[in-house]
Amino acid sequence: MTAGDAWWSPWRTAEGSLILHVDLRADREHEERAFELLDEVERARWNRFVVEGARRRFALCRAALRVNLCERLGCSNEELSFGYLEHGKPFAIVDGVPSDAGFNVSHSGRHGLIGFARQDGLGVDLEVRDPLRDFDGIGGRVYGPLERRALSSATGGEKAALFYRLWSLKEALIKALGTGFSLNPARFEVPLAMLEGEQSAMFRFPHLPSDQFWLEDLGETRFAAARACRLGEEIEQVAPLGALRG
């Protein structure tokens, strides 16, 4: 597949990290090519989707993930499969051997993101902003006290922007950890500096004080987005992601 035929393109990059943007608009040719790349397990999942948009988002993102992981891991599409951790976070398996390559996927509306990192512990999230939601009501259930206070004092478009910014930051953290819904998002808050507008900061979950994460707001006009990376012994700092042109 040549770069011009692909429905994904580099979106943000920094040393050792890359985030691709995936175009999830309906496109019969892209969807057929994506389906061809899926394995039997993924095709069975594709068949179980009842909602057309959800099926398309899954297939286009999973196929893009496959092509790019094969390149990074030096394997063929047939050699690549996926395993799932306890709460559903996927990991790559090459020829039957689990890999610790870090990646994470998010999709919403017409947009998808696929993040790659040197090692596991990566979470990315993308949320298309829907202006017609009960922001204070939902925020009251999923945000902590300082987050709720910031949300209730915002008005109009600022409230919607803050709601989705907080959502994507918190979900990127939950996805980096891999716990999904089993962790109540109201039990932790984004770093105060980020609540006050900073673009990135270090973060620790209250129940996991020895694990440190790097959290970065990647929101833009089309959607809210964020990346969270667990910092390991080898990696103590993460370079902020820069925008790519073209």
Residues found near ligand COA in the complex (CB under 6 A): 58, 61-62, 87-90, 104-107, 123, 125, 142, 167, 170-171, 174-175, 178, 180-181, 185
Residues 6 or more apart in contact with residue 20 via CB below 8 angstroms = 8, 9, 10, 11, 64, 68, 113, 114, 115, 116
CB of 162 to ligand COA, least distance (A): 12
Give the Cα separation of 194 and 192 in Å (integer).
5
Residue 188 vs 238, nearer CB to ligand COA: 188
Residue 150 vs 174, nearer CB to ligand COA: 174
CB of 108 to ligand COA, least distance (A): 6
CB of 87 to ligand COA, least distance (A): 4
For residue 74, the 8-state DSSP code is T
CB of 246 to ligand COA, least distance (A): 26
Residue 58 vs 135, nearer CB to ligand COA: 58
For residue 27, the 8-state DSSP code is -
CB of 74 to ligand COA, least distance (A): 22
Q: Is the separation of the CB atoms in 203 and 193 below 8 Å?
A: no
Residue 12 vs 89, nearer CB to ligand COA: 89
CB of 123 to ligand COA, least distance (A): 6
Q: Three-state DSSP class for 90?
A: strand
Residue 2 vs 46, nearer CB to ligand COA: 46
Chain position carrying tokens 């017409």: 110
Residue 10 vs 109, nearer CB to ligand COA: 109
CB of 181 to ligand COA, least distance (A): 4
Q: Three-state DSSP class for 6?
A: coil
For residue 104, the 8-state DSSP code is E
- Please give the torsion angle defined by the CA atoms of residues 209, 101, 88 and 222, in that order, rounded to the nearest 10 degrees: 90
Residue 104 vs 200, nearer CB to ligand COA: 104
CA atoms within 13 A on the CB side of 155: 0
H or E segment to which residue 147 belongs: helix 145-153
Residues 6 or more apart in contact with residue 21 via CB below 8 angstroms = 8, 9, 10, 11, 111, 112, 113
**Distance between first and last Cα of the chain:** 19
